[in-house]
Structure 1
Amino acid sequence: MSTVADLPQIAECSVDGCSYNTEHACHAGAITIGGASSASCATFIPLSVKGGLDKVVAEVGACHRSDCSHNSHLECGAASVRIGAGPDNVSHPGCLTFESR
């Protein structure tokens, strides 16, 4: 990864309860992947008000999961990322592209 233009896009987000999700597309400027026990979308916000930028499809701005095979220097190197239900299906959506090293 060499520039911001190289950041992977969010190919799909199936988390309807997120304010940034419109028709399975994430419209945050960028998301952060975090989580202590599982890779989760740390940008998730469950509000009834829709947020984000209409003409933007989010990218992965940062990944805190250094145990992911796509992670290099805390940046995601996957071609694209899918976000969906996390392991607990309640608190935070998961990064479905996560692959343990």
Structure 2
Amino acid sequence: MSTVSAVKACATTSCAYNADGCTAFAVTIAGGEKPSCVTFITLDARGGLQTAAGQVGACQRLECAHNKDLMCAAEGIEVTDTATCATYEVR
């Protein structure tokens, strides 16, 4: 795989990496019961890149149809207001 998946949309406005989109350099999708963005963090500050250009750095959901060698092979992902990966699909 030569490309990484973009975070196309993130509705988790309480995340310190959300400034009109994901500003984390890379997020990790994991979680227990739900496929979640585990990069999510609530702080009194905003951080990350100057522009919303986040991407998926790792996917730890082996059962996801988009998981290829622990990387996300989807064209892009969307994250809901509860930090759940809305692009997740069970194989």
Please report the TM-score for the alignment, with normalisation by the length of structure 1.
0.86
Please point out which of 5, 9, 12 is paired with 2:9: 12
**CA RMSD for the aligned pairs?**
1.0
Query: Does residue 74 of structure 1 match 2:74?
Result: no
Cα distance in 2 for residues equivalent to 1:97 and 1:42: 15
- Matched positions, count: 91
TM-score, with structure 2 as normaliser: 0.95
Of structures 1 and 2, the one scoring higher in RCO (CA 8 A, sep 6+) is 2
Contact 2:10 2:81 in 1 (8 A): no
The equivalent position to 1:84 in structure 2, one of 58, 80, 84, is: 80
Once the two structures are TM-superposed, the CA of residue 85 in structure 1 deviates from its matched residue by 2.9
Moved more, 9-18 or 50-59: 50-59
Gaps of 5+ in 1: 87-92
Indicate whether 1:100 and 2:81 are aligned. no
Residue 33 in 1 paired to residue 29 in 2?
yes
SS at match of 1:46: coil
Percent of aligned positions that are identical: 40
Deviation at 1:36, TM superposition (A): 1.5
* Cα distance in structure 2, aligned partners of 1:36 and 1:20: 21
Structure 2: give runs of 5+ residues left out of the alignment: none
3-state DSSP of counterpart to 1:22: coil
